[in-house]
Structure 1
């Protein structure tokens, strides 16, 4: 499936041209305006963006490194689809990264960051009460990001960012995996209580259990709701 994008006019920015193209395409993919399986025709996309194919190719290479596009012979760049197995594996890696982030972050959290966590917890309650599921999970993501950023580990932050970019498109619609929002709120509040007590090990253990909930659902038939299509088979033509 090809997409004919409208012309995008880039403003003056302190970024190279390929970085501007990369940022634009990344946003389109994460917002699902470029859906999984979309073929990115270099000639058409370069023309629509008003750039040469060189910057576009550099941007596509960076997107491929993040797992957002897959580059194959003859077919070129295609917006990546995650299979059910790949998404489950990504959840397992996320659990490991965020557990480590909590252990590193809790001793480093100052009063301002703790207050921010409490404010985010309160926001989740408000979103649940108003039935705003999309905003609930946006706030949920920010809650988890406090630990990742508070870890002080740049490599962990980079790996987590790339992983969440790959998972993000599905996570925005994956509340089927989590179940009731009230249970999720209770789990976050338990994590927060352990943080307030300065118990990094307990906070990390509770966070692991929290992340394992959708994994268990995903590992059952109920998780299939997110994966209607398997990825296209590789091009093996000569």
Structure 2
């Protein structure tokens, strides 16, 4: 039997999702619980492999099991063995043919910054302090250049092993909060460090260090050296994984409706 699990975690004390030898990871914590239950190793397969310090409001993974217990019992059993910075929210039995990484239709990320005169120690690890004045209009205008299908080589890590770097961005929105801004981006998929590089670039535009109208040229150049900065990991949240086209379409329509109201 194959099970799909929805999970949330605070990434502050993890070296990312994916297993690493001699490092604490989300995958290792979950697989340890499954090993104790099955008396043997059980591999989990995530929808996304978040980096060190990155959080997840909604992440999914699937695993195979021969243990036939009800879905709600799975949730209780997993949460009983997991640390406090990981929470299983839902467990559902799925088809043996389903693979969450390859069958999901897109992801949404949120990047959070706060502003002010002083750092807030209670936001440490959860938001990024950005004390510089920002031009909101310039940032919004620049973000629109990324909507659509583009080669994001200039906005991905040089360490990325993926050769095909074309991705489709559905929305890239700036949301004003009580103490700063949230950057919300929805796309078909994302390259290594892509969201953090995009946010760092837009913040540089907002601060007046970059001319946002040059964005199409930078995209076209396909040169990572043109955009050297990467925003810190701790402000980034995997917010949604869209399991099907319907969920993606509904979210995009809801965001459009909210924008029109304002």
Give the TM-score, by structure 2 length. Answer: 0.26
Determine which structure has the larger helix proportion and give its number: 1
Determine which structure has the larger strand proportion and give its number: 2
